[in-house]
Amino acid sequence: MLLNGGDAVVEVLKREGVDTIFGYPGGVALPLYDSLYESGIRHILTRHEQGAAHAADGYARASGKVGVCLSTSGPGATNLITGIATANMDSVPMVAITCQVTSNLLGKDSFQEADVYGITTPISKHNFMVKDPRYLPDILSKAFYIAKSGRPGPVVVDIPKDIFLTKIEIDDIPHLPLKGYKPVKEGNIADIDNVIEALAKAKRPLLFIGGGVVISDTSEVMAELLKKTKLPVITSMLGLPAIDHKYENFYGMVGMHGTYTANMAISNCDLLLAMGVRFDDRVTGDIEKFAKQTEIAHFDIDPSEIGKIISVDYSVLADLGWSLPKFTEKAVVGDIGEWQQQLADWHKDHPLKYNKKEATLMPQEVIEQVSGVMADNAIVVTDVGQHQMWAAQYCCTRTPRGFLSSGGLGTMGYGLPAAIGAQIACPDKEVWLFVGDGGIMMNCQELATAAELNLPIKIFVINNHGLGMVRQWQRMFFQGHYSASKHYAGTDFAAIAWAMGVQSLTVKKKCGLKHALEDAKDSSEPFLVDVWVDDDENVLPMVAPGASLNEMSE
């Protein structure tokens, strides 16, 4: 079939099963947008390219499918960058199509030209620039293959405008060799046997679950493993939705704002089974002191993660989809009763806690109450900052792809557009967004997108009138110098929402919350609740940056 390049892009997208893309048009993208017109592919027009990238990310995380975003050249493409980098850090499958200036204008500082290939090389799993139109169909389908196979990640395809206007054969096509790309699938069974042996001997084993379990869709197998072994479990932030939080031996999130029990468990276990984690510094604290008494078994799909941060005693290099069922089948745990008791005691003596106030709402209280009314299969989305940590601590997620948050990059402004993507991917699920009064402003233009699409996202602005996490660090480490961390303008978020067509409420007192929760829950359109909370609350417990995990402030 001979098509012009724009139509060829649309045809390949359809063949890859894409029905929705997120984007923003502009000069050199117009031929492609003409091909999209009445193509049957749903194009979501965000109000900023960054919104398109995060929405594609939210769509991908919620559905497990590849998210697709699209922009014009130059500023359009550079506006995608934060979203691509966010997806890269959290291994989110994404294809970003950026349109580029016409081939003969390349490299001449032409209008709206930016070196997208160069800019995206360090922040993507892979990237292509299409120079020969004959290769366009193959490059685009390889982009999908690379994005979703192995350890997923974003792939950028930069396409000069003239390619959209060239006639291209799309069936009998030349292929680019991909000799160097061999995603890991199956591992070595002997490696699993070694861990099984170590597990049988371990007196104090601990399972540490990360985002890899979510990405590999192995939550069900994980549940079987837990049912069979009763192993104690802790998770990273992105691993939170991988297991049912009602599991009796679940001790919460580990790391800087992890629970006392999780951090003590990692410091005192004798075998750490780390699955789909990458030992981020927010998890490990001081690596010199991290899990020092412990044998570590690392299950991961990415060879470069093994030994990157800490040396491990056992490694199982494979897709968890391959290794976890095999491990589960053979796993036998020795007598760990004493250890289970120790963990239960810690958990009882050191629960997460905060002090309530009479009239002022505490942020944790808001999150607990919201969590209480959510449906079991609800998707929780967060932005970045204090509210994110409180959501990780106090919001019980119950579904494997039910907690979306920018973990690795920590991108403020991620939440609202990601919630839009998640709601589009899962129209029948409740989507609840927690966002700070700082983060909402970083992409508040997307309220208009949500309104236009009538997406029933429930938005809770945890409003502490400033940049809470920044203030917390300034309080703790910079003698309370609140340098550039307070908002004085008194911005009315409910009015902003209203102006963009989103229903809204402001809750300043405790008594107003229940009513707002009901309204948000019942709303069939986007609903924003601006909740004023205590300005000075700290996220606790806390391991100071660079300190060891067992040195917590509670």
Partner 1 sequence: MKHTVSALVENHPGVLYRVAGLIARRGYNIASLAASATEEEGLTRISIVVDVNDERELEQIQDQLSKLVEVIHVVNMTQIDHVSREMALVKVNAGEEHRADITNLVAIFRAKIIDVHPDSLVLEVTGDVGKVDAFCEMMRKYGIIEIIRTGEIFISRSPKRLIDN
| Catalytic position from the list 129, 469, 500, 552 | 469
Contact status: 553 vs partner 1 (CB under 8 A) = no
Nearest approach in angstroms of CB 122 to partner 1 is 6
* Paired strand residues for 44: 22
Q: Which is nearer to partner 1, 135 or 339 (CB)?
A: 135
- Tokens representing 50 are 């960054």
> If binding means CB under 8 A, how many residues of this protein chain bind partner 1?
21
| Catalytic position from the list 11, 16, 22, 49 | 49
Nearest approach in angstroms of CB 151 to partner 1 is 9
Catalytic residue check, 111: yes
Nearest approach in angstroms of CB 518 to partner 1 is 49
Binding window for partner 1 (CB under 8 A); candidates: 56-64, 74-82, 296-304, 386-394: 296-304
The DSSP annotation for 14-49 comes to HHTT--EEEE---GGGHHHHHHHTTSS-EEEE-SSH
Q: Hey, which residues between 473 and 502 contact partner 1 (CB under 8 A)?
A: none
Name which position in 41, 106, 306, 544 contacts partner 1 (CB under 8 A).
Answer: 306
Name which position in 302, 452, 534, 551 contacts partner 1 (CB under 8 A).
Answer: 302
Q: Which is nearer to partner 1, 177 or 490 (CB)?
A: 177
Q: Which is nearer to partner 1, 143 or 275 (CB)?
A: 143
Cβ atoms of 264 and 346 closer than 8 Å: yes
Q: Hey, which residues between 94 and 133 contact partner 1 (CB under 8 A)?
A: 117-118, 121-122, 125-126, 129, 131
Catalytic residue check, 469: yes
The contact pattern for partner 1, residues 158-177, with x = CB under 8 A and - = no contact, is -------------------x
Nearest to 44 by CA among 30, 55, 29: 55
- The strand pair at 20-23 and 205-209 is best described as unpaired
Q: Which is nearer to partner 1, 180 or 480 (CB)?
A: 180
Q: Which is nearer to partner 1, 295 or 305 (CB)?
A: 305
Nearest approach in angstroms of CB 176 to partner 1 is 8
Contact status: 281 vs partner 1 (CB under 8 A) = no
Q: Which is nearer to partner 1, 51 or 150 (CB)?
A: 150
Contact status: 188 vs partner 1 (CB under 8 A) = no
Among left, alpha and beta (phi > 0; psi -120 to 50; other), residue 396 is beta
Catalytic residue check, 164: no
Q: Give 295's contacts (C-beta < 8 A, 6+ positions apart).
A: 198, 202, 270, 271, 272, 313, 314
Name which position in 42, 107, 167, 181 contacts partner 1 (CB under 8 A).
Answer: 181
Nearest approach in angstroms of CB 161 to partner 1 is 19
Dihedral, CA atoms, 276, 280, 284, 288, nearest 10 degrees? 110
The contact pattern for partner 1, residues 235-264, with x = CB under 8 A and - = no contact, is ------------------------------
Q: Which is nearer to partner 1, 17 or 122 (CB)?
A: 122
DSSP 308: S
Q: For residues 455 and 166, give the distance between their C-alpha atoms in angstroms, rounded to a whole number.
A: 38
Cα separation values, 249 from 77, 81, 269, 338, Å? 46, 40, 14, 13
Binding window for partner 1 (CB under 8 A); candidates: 2-10, 98-106, 258-266, 303-311: 303-311
Q: Which is nearer to partner 1, 286 or 302 (CB)?
A: 302
Q: For residues 492 and 532, give the distance between their C-alpha atoms in angstroms, rounded to a whole number.
A: 11
Catalytic residue check, 161: yes
Name which position in 178, 495, 499, 511 contacts partner 1 (CB under 8 A).
Answer: 178
Q: Give 413's contacts (C-beta < 8 A, 6+ positions apart).
A: 50, 54, 82, 383, 439, 442, 443
Name which position in 97, 101, 146, 272 contacts partner 1 (CB under 8 A).
Answer: 146
Cβ atoms of 481 and 429 closer than 8 Å: no
* Paired strand residues for 337: none
Contact status: 307 vs partner 1 (CB under 8 A) = yes
The sign of the torsion formed by the CA atoms of 6, 12, 17, 23 equals negative
Contact status: 227 vs partner 1 (CB under 8 A) = no
Cα angle 505, 509, 515 (rounded to 5 degrees) comes to: 50
The DSSP annotation for 477-506 comes to HSTT--TT-B--S---HHHHHHHTT-EEEE
Nearest to 123 by CA among 164, 95, 96, 88: 88
Nearest to 94 by CA among 80, 115, 75: 80
Binding window for partner 1 (CB under 8 A); candidates: 80-88, 132-140, 178-186, 238-246: 178-186
Cα separation values, 378 from 117, 417, 421, 423, 428, Å? 38, 17, 14, 10, 9
Contact status: 508 vs partner 1 (CB under 8 A) = no
Name which position in 17, 180, 337, 480 contacts partner 1 (CB under 8 A).
Answer: 180
Cβ atoms of 219 and 242 closer than 8 Å: yes
Catalytic residues: 49, 111-112, 161, 469
Residue numbers of the site for partner 1 (CB under 8 A)?
117-118, 121-122, 125-126, 129, 131, 146, 177-181, 302-304, 306-308, 311
